A and B are shown apart, each in its own frame.
Chain A
Amino acid sequence: MITFGEILLYSVSYFGLFTSVFFLWTMLENKRQWKNPSAPKVLPKVTVIVPACNEEKTLAKTVRSLLSLNYPRNKLEIIIVDDGSVDNTLKAAKAFQKQGAIVLTKPNGGKGTALNLALKRASGEFVGCLDADSVVEPGALRKMLGYFADKNVAAVTPSLKCTKPRTVWQAIQVIEFLLGVYLRKVFAFLGAIHVTPGPFTIFRKSFFDKHGGYDTKTVTEDIEISLRMQANHCVIENAADANVYAIPKPTFATLYHQRIRWYRGFLDNVQKYKFLFSRKYGNLGVFILPSAFISVFFAISVVIYVLYRFVDVNVQRFINLYNVNFDVRKLIYLRTDPFYIDANGLMFIGIVALFLSIIIIYLTKIISNEQEHIKWYYVLFMLFYLPLFAFWWVVAIFYKARKGEIIWTGRKRDEKEEKYLF
């Protein structure tokens, strides 16, 4: 008789296999489009906004990376917005005024308000944002602009990667970010990008002029703006080798807060744009958004089931050992007989899935010019990411159900976290 656990695991395997094959098919079918279209002969003016709140330690490196862009200085406008910092962020920003950067300051109100303030001053035909703890590669901007030759394209996303990890928590995120690079390219081919990363997504300014600035009520304005674009049938493209590097969260606590914000923001924005779950919005409505929720459901279910089995087996194991006074001298032995290898259907499907995931990582390295050796990061990711992912989603759903408010707050950089009020 088939058990509930088997039904769950086989369902998850089928779904995972389907989405993997679908995305891989999409990627390979569009192999000719891996290369970016050439940048226009006449380069347009681009404004890059750097919103900053208590980021005195990282701001300079971010702005220097903008100044190092392989782009005519007279065509690049940099606007730094100090969002009510209590440290020396404003002083660090003003140091770049002599290099042409515009510096604005305002009382603390969150990233969205900072961006909107800068939008009013922006004079570029295209506008981007770079978080004050991220750095951009010199060639990134030119790689992205060619996509705007298509008038339907309202935004172009970069390839968002991690800086070199220093902690285990950062190492786990390396592959997650790389998978994000892959998925963003696939979603671009499907017309289904639904998250435009904060760091260095370039927008056509006319979109903001027509549809308004950033939504200041959400803490994930990057998700809101992309769903708004999809709702207006705009196209969002991706330049998979336009590399931007963000510092991954170094500790469990900071990573936890970031992810709760992201996932809670995603839930809030999907609720706002729930009409997107429709054939009218193509692959996004029919497959990508529904499968995002299915994958969350499956991740949580699998983790709960595995935890339950782990506890069940080990409680029994403990009772058994207790009954023999923990005398295991003659009970421990190594099973070397190949008979005991679990050669069931799930194992073979798992082997196929592992093989596919290696192909995906390899493809991602190719399309994004990734040079780092990532083998050990891959092992860490495979071991720890799924339970973390499930945990963050459970908490985000819990907060959503409790209807707690999420707001941006500004404190000292090291303690920066998103505050939750109930």
Chain B
Amino acid sequence: MDKRQHVNKTQYIAVFAITTLVFVAGILLGNFFAGKKLSHIDRLGREVKTDTAAIEIEYDILASDPCKAVNTTPLANDLYALAEKLDYMENALGEDNQDVRDLKNYYSILELRNWLLLKKTNYECSDKKTLILYFYSGKDSCKTCEEQGFILTWVRKNYPNVYVYSFDYNIENAAVKTIKDLYGITTTPSLVIGDLTFDRFMSKNEIVDAVADVERDAQRKSAGKTNETSAVNGETRETGYYTAP
């Protein structure tokens, strides 16, 4: 055998070592940045939590007429942005990733808190929002959930008065469990529009019609309610038909 053809074991071992080093470094770098992104989402979540608490306190401070001063729209937009990033990380790291699951859990609490706040403002203020709760699960157990989620994104982008709160059906969290029991959620996809539960896939037109029904209903109730005069500063606050969760 010519010397050129001779297998130089040292070279093979050295190249193996260099390749493995570069490969492991790449993976570690990737994990490092994934960790950074999860921390970023966690920080956003804490900001949303603080903002929510701030609005709740603002609402209570301005007890006489909080409706004019309180603006919940930016908070909802922050929640959607947070959801998008969480969704991105779930696709990148997998739905079984524990950090992602913990963040989703935390996010569901933030959503419910925002939902409760908006239910309160709906009750007490004239500017009504239509609230949709959406329960989904993974591709393996719910073939139409991705389509349903996309339709709901379209609805909330085209109907600014509609707020959508999405919950992973499998989240282990007492608050979410309570909501599921309250509205009888046993399958996915399931939607709660206003206070009506729909335990099936709904098309765009069906959702739009359901939203219109809820808004009409809200207006009817608003028109037929009793006016009460608040003893505080002689101002009037409207009360109406409040359906408590």
Residues of A within 8 A of B (CB): 1, 3, 13-14, 17-18, 21-22, 25-26, 29, 152, 188-192, 233, 235, 279-284, 286-287, 316, 319-320, 323-325, 327, 330-331, 339-340, 342-349, 352
Contact = CB atoms under 8 A, between A and B. Distances in A.
Contacts of B85: 339
A146 B90 CA distance: 62
A346 B11 contact: no
Contact of A324 (B1, B12, B151): B151
Interface of A is mostly: helix
Nearest to B150: A320
Contact of A323 (B18, B34, B157, B204): B204
Nearest to A282: B5
Given A190-B5, A323-B204, A348-B26, 8 more contacts: A17-B23, A188-B4, A191-B4, A191-B5, A282-B6, A349-B22, A349-B23, A349-B26
A281 B204 contact: no
A331 B30 contact: no
B18 to A, nearest CB: 6
Contacts of B25: 348
A18 B19 contact: yes
Nearest to A192: B5
A1 B138 CA distance: 14
B14 interface: yes
B154 interface: yes
Given A282-B1, A349-B23, A1 B94 contact: yes
B15 interface: yes
Nearest to A188: B4
B204 to A, nearest CB: 5
A18 B15 CA distance: 7
Contact of B2 (A13, A233, A345, A346): A233
B7 A282 contact: yes
Interface string B1-39: 111111100011011101100110111111101100100
A284 B5 CA distance: 7
Interface string B179-214: 000000000000000000000000110000000000
B23 A25 contact: no
Contacts, number: 116
Interface of B: 1-7, 11-12, 14-16, 18-19, 22-23, 25-31, 33-34, 37, 40, 85, 88, 92, 94, 96, 146-147, 150-151, 153-154, 157-158, 203-204
17 contacts: A3-B94, A25-B11, A26-B11, A191-B3, A283-B7, A316-B146, A323-B147, A323-B203, A324-B150, A324-B154, A331-B154, A339-B37, A339-B40, A343-B34, A344-B92, A346-B30, A348-B26
Given A319-B147, A345-B26, A281 B5 contact: yes
A190 B3 CA distance: 9
Contact of B33 (A279, A280, A343): A343
B77 to A, nearest CB: 13
A22 B150 contact: no
B16 A18 contact: yes
B14 A17 contact: no
A330 B157 contact: yes
Contacts of B29: 343, 345, 348
Contacts of B151: 320, 323-324
Which of B88, B146, B154, B204 has the most A CB atoms < 10 Å from its CB? B154
A345 B27 contact: yes
B18 A21 contact: yes
B5 A320 contact: no
Given A25-B14, A190-B5, A17 B19 contact: yes
A319 B147 CA distance: 7
A65 to B, nearest CB: 31
Given A1-B94, A25-B14, A330-B158, A190 B30 contact: no
Contacts of B204: 323-325
B78 to A, nearest CB: 13
B2 A235 contact: yes
B19 A189 contact: no
B147 A342 contact: no
A327 B159 CA distance: 13
A191 B19 contact: no
